[in-house]
Amino acid sequence: MSELLVPAQISNVTTVDPGEVRIVELSLPSQWKIENVWYPVLDTMRPGTAFLAKPWGARTEKWRRRMYTRSNMIIESAHVLETIINNTHTDKSDTSVWWQSDDVLAWLKTGHPIDIRVQWNDSHSALQIYENCRQCQHNNLRLEPDGEWGQMRVVALALSTGITPFLACLRYMKHLKFGRTSVNPGACVTLIVSVQHEQQLMAHEELLAMQCEFPENFYYHPVLTKSWPKDWDFTTGRIIRTQSTSEGHEVIDVRPLLSVCPDIHQRHVRFCGNTTARNQLQKGLQQEGINPLSFRGEVW
């Protein structure tokens, strides 16, 4: 059976860093007609998951199929898929360059559609937005079931647009008061976000405000790697560093990370970024003899 697609409109574009990073919002209709029958389009996406869109490829000049992690969540914005897209600057960069182009601003104005993949629900009575994973696994960041995450101590490390799945999870957790009850102090989450310079920080004010509102549940630590203001209160330079020994072995220095999160061995570690950094994090913890409660990481 052919893939089911529903057209979305680009409903908002925020340029975080020109040519590099944009926050894009895609709005889906609440119902869609297939063979003359209207079906509801259900938004059931779990925080931490990704949807599939068909953007334009600037290099190949074709429609492409690409996954994007959602950064908002259904309670506050059903049918509006917010994501954060960066320019990957690789030889094969195709859609990631296009997302930074003026075309996208023109499509925002004209309402030119972008297709989003949907699928039938179990009873074949409605369409639901396709999500990349249905179960929590070591290589994805789908949020643990409700009732489970509220008991967890987590440290999340996000490199650049790797903040996206954590934003969806944190916005959801905040909505549910981090799972606090009269008997449970709720989840405890440290979010470390690493970007090159201050302008690339996403949802910075929102995360600072979240920390003020839930100081016992949430700590936000933004790291700047290339340039920083003189009075920057947080880590500067890379949070995980590498050195080569005289014998040519790679030694990973996780001390900057441990200074932000000294109890990492008592935490569930979550990572989103590139493969090299994920491997360095795992190797660095191993070299220090640190075994976190669990490790889940998504790489793009």
Which residue ranges make up the site for ligand FAD (CB under 6 A)? 50, 57, 64, 66-69, 83-86, 88, 90, 92-96, 132, 161, 164, 300
Is 83 or 128 the residue whose CB approaches ligand FAD more closely?
A: 83
Q: Closest approach of Cβ 284 to ligand FAD, in Å?
A: 24
C-alpha span between 93 and 237 (Å, rounded) = 27
Residue 28: helix, strand or coil by DSSP? coil
Is 90 or 182 the residue whose CB approaches ligand FAD more closely?
A: 90
Is 163 or 264 the residue whose CB approaches ligand FAD more closely?
A: 163
Is 132 or 225 the residue whose CB approaches ligand FAD more closely?
A: 132
Contact 224, 196 (CB under 8 A): yes
Strands lying side by side in the sheet with 153-159:
218-224, 188-195, 153-159, 268-273, 294-299
Q: Closest approach of Cβ 64 to ligand FAD, in Å?
A: 6
Contact 205, 222 (CB under 8 A): no
Is 188 or 193 the residue whose CB approaches ligand FAD more closely?
A: 193
Q: Closest approach of Cβ 71 to ligand FAD, in Å?
A: 7
Is 100 or 235 the residue whose CB approaches ligand FAD more closely?
A: 100
Q: Closest approach of Cβ 298 to ligand FAD, in Å?
A: 6
One-character DSSP codes across 265-277: GGSEEEEEE-HHH
Give the start-end residues of each E strand in 130-257.
Answer: 153-159, 188-195, 218-224, 241-244, 250-253
The residue at minimum Cβ distance from ligand FAD is 96
Q: Closest approach of Cβ 137 to ligand FAD, in Å?
A: 12
Is 32 or 56 the residue whose CB approaches ligand FAD more closely?
A: 56
C-alpha span between 21 and 104 (Å, rounded) = 13
- Cβ neighbours for 137, distance < 8 A, ≥ 6 positions apart: 296
Which residue reads 């509220």 in tokens? 150
C-alpha span between 288 and 284 (Å, rounded) = 6
C-alpha R_g of the chain: 20
Is 11 or 211 the residue whose CB approaches ligand FAD more closely?
A: 11
Tokens for 98, please give them: 């296009």
Q: Closest approach of Cβ 110 to ligand FAD, in Å?
A: 23
192 class by beta-carbon count within 10 Å (0-12 exposed, 13-18 middle, 19+ buried): buried
Q: Closest approach of Cβ 293 to ligand FAD, in Å?
A: 24
C-alpha span between 178 and 27 (Å, rounded) = 27
Q: Closest approach of Cβ 88 to ligand FAD, in Å?
A: 5
